[in-house]
Amino acid sequence: METCELGAFLEGQQTRLRQTIADLAKRYDYVSVLGTDSSGVSFRVSPQERRVGDSMWSERGFVFRVQQAGRIVEFALNVLPKGDLAATISAQIDQLLSAGPDARLYPALPDEAAEASRFATVAENPLAADPAKVMDRLALARAALMQQSPEIVFSSANAEFVRVRKIFLSPKRDLAQAYFWGQGYLITVAKRGDETRENYQPFSGYMGLELLDELDSKVEALATETIELLSAEKPLPGEYDVICDPDVTGLIAHEAFGHGVEMDMFVKGRAQAPEYLGKAVASPIVDMYDTAAGIEQCGSYLFDDEGTFASSTKIIDKGILVAGLSDLQSAASLGTKPTGNGRREAFDHKAYARMTNTYIAPGKDSLEDMIASIKHGYLLQKMSSGMEDPKNWGIQLVLTVGREIVDGKLSGRMVSPIVCSGYVPELLSSISMISGTVELGGSGACGKGYKEYAKVSSGGPYIKARMRLG
Amino acid sequence: MLQLIESLIKAGGRASEYRIAERTKNGLEWYFVRDRLDSSRAVVTTRYEVTVYVDSINPAADNPASARTRGECSVLIQPGSTEAEIRTILDRALDTAAGMKNAWFPLPEPAVSQNAVATSRFDSLSLPQAMEAVRSALYKHDGLDGSTINSLEIFLSQQHIHLLTSRGVDVSWKSWNGFCEYIVNAGTRGKDEVELYADLHFADLDEAPLSEAVRIRLQAASDRLAAVPTPELKGLPLLLSGHLAADLYEYWFQNAQAMAVYEKRAAFAVGDDVSAGQGSQKQGSTSPLGDPINLRAIPTLAGSPLGAPYDQTGFALKPVELIRDNKVLAVVASSKYAHYLQLPATGAIPLFEVAGGHDEAATLRAVDHLEVLAFSDFFVDSTTGDFGGEIRLAYLLKGGKRQPVYGGAVTGNLVDNRGLIRLSRELETSAKARGPVSCLLPIVSITPAG
């Protein structure tokens, strides 16, 4: 096992930054700095080509946040100038405070005393591994995929690992953390005549190179499913009983509902959720959580990008909406306790209220009983995309695999692609059965609208619901 | 810093080739809730993207032509890194590149691009002045018919790019990158309030299109209030306009990429007819045939922040005709994939242009159709040709009556529609393309709202 360290760069800046924060605190009502030094590596093996590069999540820089007379501004930079750093930062901050139209004024941002650090461990450090050997492992999986069927015309094996390193300093807080996350995809394309189908199998975790241990076990099922997709038909539009696998359950928890309880949406009046706090939004058998603490997945951390400790938030309790997820600004505006969900794509992006690891809690049903209970419907798998609609609570989920269920059994027929639409509370209220085991997946990234990507995971058990498919 | 990185690569003597890109950004960001500034940010960053190449000979190769290999590794070097840090990063990158024995390919030789980034009216303004001008334009129609801007984010930055390569490329250019995202609301007491999302990319201070884009969205939000659930609709064509149409046209551009051809993911190859096959056979001769597809790759587009005179390897870009009257003439090919496929290199051209069709948009709109103005998230799968999304706002034209509708979904496939898509004669420019303002797709499936 290897412990992730904070690294020489951030360690080397801490003393100067502490002094700078102390100097700035004399001028402004609130001041803090987030420092990041995250590095990552990505691998891709495709036909006749191997590529290695830095991860798109690599970053190194600082963002200073200031509040003065209620107004909040930030200055992000990745070169700390020599000389009087506080003077340089002040000059830019003062320009921001004096420019622009009429500003909203916020209650004082909190700055409670805390000193903490967390440095996670990994079994294999991907940044220290021999890239050629990592590529060999990926190449074997890719070659195995191609051998499954002559109809598979393309495959690639992709993996990415990131070591996140962050410090947060304010007059009363001194925090540090370092950890790894990893993700990957096996991708296939199959062709038969005019029909072309693309499919993928993701894998992810709060871990290092050991993530690749699960690669080989996914090859055969992915190849089989891709070939099945070549015979898939378009679904006949209509409303069906469906069973969502943990991946799709997570997509519902995240896209259909989770974005709607990000409390910066409450501040803007962009969410229906505030009107439903304390009211039923789902079936009484539904509990839903968002937690960056106590779970190890891609959305886990010790503190968020505003220096608030991670927490576990129960969003839905027995079908009742009980809480939302807040960043510092939305919590200050709404007069609530910050939940530790203030996250940035990188140091040079704004912090928003964001999800972390979002899931529906387990129930007591078996998957076999759930399938047996359906006269005609579908087992839905493989998310393709999803988009939030917190104001109107519309649903858009695009899925790749729908396995038909007839008279309580899988018929062997498949539909693809599937666009799920409808109204979120109706969907959540229709959940009638929930299986007993939660699975979380954290590949890909979550956007706020169409930008501001953050690492998250989502998941849950199998759920049975009623959904409109097209 | 650029010179330091280059000198360290040269001094190391292990790189067969290299390229370095320095990107600096100086930007302002304003975030509004309603019409008040919620917070503001300044961002000043520099980054260095370095790719090193290591060549070797594979003694086990069957023939000399395939014996030469080239490995590459791309790394990010942070400004402020010490010389020792840079050496460590470069050493590891070189070790990695030496282990990647891909087929050899050349890097582009120096050439002068004739497609410079257009000058911008932002050049004569300070950043705060430029931001204020954009803000003012965007809020011009706020309150139209009771619809308001709920929230708005403006990002504006000036960027400077400097490319250096071991082949002697040494070019630099400046560009403006403007982006705004806005949410509009419509609603009255006693009725549910509705919202619509939109965004805009821009590189020039042209107030009229900024104001007009927001006005259209505000009007649409008002229409959304009067919308009814999408009813059962069979056999009705789909009309798409603006950025949704551009997303659809991108299917041809994405498939006309050498990398897609090399990886056997492309839907067509040079010499193919993109209109032939399934769709036109299905439809027979009873319906009007679609317009021919004419597609060009273009490096820059007035007002777009996404263009560039050179690609990442320093290839001097120029327009290239890709599809003429449905026949694929060429594909966009970086030096690497052009060499692999033995095709002419074009460089990685970022933007595209689709020619207009025979009829005016008004003619396309005259037939009964469903026009979707806003999807929750419109998707077009460039591999399978599948497209669709959940409807947030559409207009149903049936029997001369135009009714706004919402809910339900549209799905379709571009392979099914081959040879049948009608394109408007009028063109429109978006951030990534110039193309027909509207298109009509005859074969789609419409799921009614629940």
User: Based on C-alpha coordinates, what's the Rg of chain A?
Assistant: 24
What is d(CA A257, CA A273) in angstroms, rounded to the nearest whole number?
9
pLDDT value for B432: 94
Q: What is the pLDDT along chain B (450 residues), one digit of tens a residue?
A: 999 999 999 999 999 999 999 999 999 999 999 999 999 999 999 999 999 999 999 888 778 777 899 999 999 999 888 999 999 999 999 999 999 989 999 999 999 998 888 899 999 999 999 999 999 999 999 999 889 999 999 999 999 999 999 999 999 999 999 999 999 999 864 457 888 999 999 999 999 999 999 999 999 999 988 899 999 998 899 999 999 999 999 999 999 999 999 988 898 999 999 988 644 444 444 455 899 999 999 999 999 999 999 999 999 999 999 999 999 999 999 999 999 999 999 999 999 999 999 999 999 999 999 999 999 889 999 988 999 999 999 999 999 999 999 999 999 999 999 999 999 999 999 999 999 999 999 999 999 987
| ipTM given for this complex | 0.95
Q: Mutation test of the interface with chain A: which of B43, B94, B104, B445, choosing the one with the most A Cβ atoms within 10 A? A: B43
The encoded tokens of residue B196 equal 């619509």
B61 touches chain A (CB under 8 A): no
A268 touches chain B (CB under 8 A): yes
B131 interaction partners in chain A (CB closer than 8 Å): 100
Q: What is the pLDDT along chain A (470 residues), one digit of tens a residue?
A: 899 999 999 999 999 999 999 999 999 999 999 999 999 999 999 988 899 999 999 999 999 999 999 999 999 999 999 999 999 999 999 999 998 888 999 999 999 999 999 999 999 999 999 999 999 999 999 999 999 999 999 999 999 999 999 999 999 999 999 999 999 999 999 999 878 899 999 999 999 999 999 888 999 999 999 999 999 998 999 999 999 999 999 999 998 889 999 999 999 998 889 999 999 999 999 999 999 998 999 999 999 999 999 999 999 999 999 999 999 999 999 999 999 999 999 999 999 999 999 999 999 999 999 999 999 999 999 998 888 788 888 888 899 999 999 999 999 999 999 999 888 999 999 999 999 999 999 998 899 988 999 999 999 999 999 999 98
Q: Which residues pair with A13 in a beta bridge?
A: none
From A58, A73, A99, residue closest to B128, measured CB to CB: A99
The encoded tokens of residue A438 equal 């939660």
The string over B165-197, giving b where at least 16 C-beta atoms fall within 10 Å of a residue's C-beta and e elsewhere, is bbbebebeeebbbbbbbbbbbbbeeeeebbbbb
Is residue B331 located within the same domain as residue B392? yes
pLDDT value for B286: 46
A269 touches chain B (CB under 8 A): yes
B96 interaction partners in chain A (CB closer than 8 Å): 52, 131-132
Say if CB B94 and CB B12 are below 8 A apart: yes
CATH number of B88's domain:
3.30.2290.10
Q: Which of B208, B225, B242 is the last residue of a domain?
A: B225
Is residue B281 located within the same domain as residue B424? yes
A22 touches chain B (CB under 8 A): no
Q: Which residues pair with A463 in a beta bridge?
A: A244, A434
A469 interaction partners in chain B (CB closer than 8 Å): 447
What is d(CA B337, CA A343) in angstroms, rounded to the nearest whole number?
39
Asked if B379 and A398 come within 8 Å (Cβ–Cβ), the reply is yes
> Distance (Å) from the C-alpha of residue A66 to the closest C-alpha of chain B?
10
> Distance (Å) from the C-alpha of residue B335 to the closest C-alpha of chain A?
15
Asked if A76 and B386 come within 8 Å (Cβ–Cβ), the reply is no
Is residue B253 located within the same domain as residue B380? yes
From A61, A76, A394, residue closest to B392, measured CB to CB: A394
Can you list the pairs that B394-397 forms with residues at least 24 positions away whose Cβ atoms lie under 8 Å?
Answer: B394/B230, B394/B370, B395/B223, B395/B370, B395/B371, B396/B230, B396/B231, B396/B233, B396/B236, B396/B370, B397/B365, B397/B367, B397/B368, B397/B369, B397/B370, B397/B371
Say if CB B22 and CB B1 are below 8 A apart: yes
> pLDDT of B360-412, one tens digit each?
999 999 999 999 999 988 999 998 899 999 999 999 999 999 999 999 999 99
Is residue B213 located within the same domain as residue B324? no
Asked if A385 and B379 come within 8 Å (Cβ–Cβ), the reply is yes
Which of A332, A331, A349, A333 has the alpha carbon at shortest distance from A341? Answer: A331
A197 touches chain B (CB under 8 A): yes
Q: What is the CATH number of domain A2-229?
A: 3.30.2290.10
A48 interaction partners in chain B (CB closer than 8 Å): 102-103, 340
Concatenated DSSP letters of B202-258: ESS--HHHHHHHHHHHHHHHHHHHT-EE-----S--EEEEHHHHHHHHHHHHHHTBH
Is residue B79 located within the same domain as residue B199? yes
Look up the pTM and report it.
Answer: 0.94
Concatenated DSSP letters of B47-97: EEEEEEEEEEE-TT-SSHHHHEEEEEEEEEE-TT--HHHHHHHHHHHHHHH
Backbone angles phi, psi at A3, to 5 degrees: -90, 130
A118 touches chain B (CB under 8 A): no
Q: Which of B162, B195, B225 is the last residue of a domain?
A: B225
Inter-axis angle of helices B83-99 and B2-12, to 10 degrees? 50
Backbone angles phi, psi at A386, to 5 degrees: -155, 155
Residues 121-160 in A contacting B (C-alpha not used; CB under 8 Å): 130-132, 135, 153-154, 156
pLDDT value for A92: 96
Alpha carbon distances (Å) from A217 to A223, A350, A440, B43, B304? 12, 40, 18, 45, 46
Which of A159, A156, A177 has the alpha carbon at shortest distance from A168? Answer: A177
> Distance (Å) from the C-alpha of residue B394 to the closest C-alpha of chain A?
14
Asked if B41 and A79 come within 8 Å (Cβ–Cβ), the reply is no
Say if CB B362 and CB B231 are below 8 A apart: no
Q: Which of B225, B248, B280 is the last residue of a domain?
A: B225
Domain that holds residue B19: 2-225
Residue ranges of domains in chain A: 2-229, 238-469
Is residue B132 located within the same domain as residue B32? yes
Q: Is the dihedral of CA B419, B425, B428, B432 positive or negative?
A: positive
How many domains does one find in chain B?
A: 2
Asked if A387 and B392 come within 8 Å (Cβ–Cβ), the reply is no
A385 interaction partners in chain B (CB closer than 8 Å): 377, 379
Is residue B161 located within the same domain as residue B189? yes
Give the nearest chain A residue to B410 (CA atoms): A470
Which of A69, A328, A53, A384 has the alpha carbon at shortest distance from B379? Answer: A384
Q: Mutation test of the interface with chain B: which of A58, A236, A350, choosing the one with the most B Cβ atoms within 10 A? A: A350
B4 touches chain A (CB under 8 A): no
> Distance (Å) from the C-alpha of residue A440 to the closest C-alpha of chain B?
24
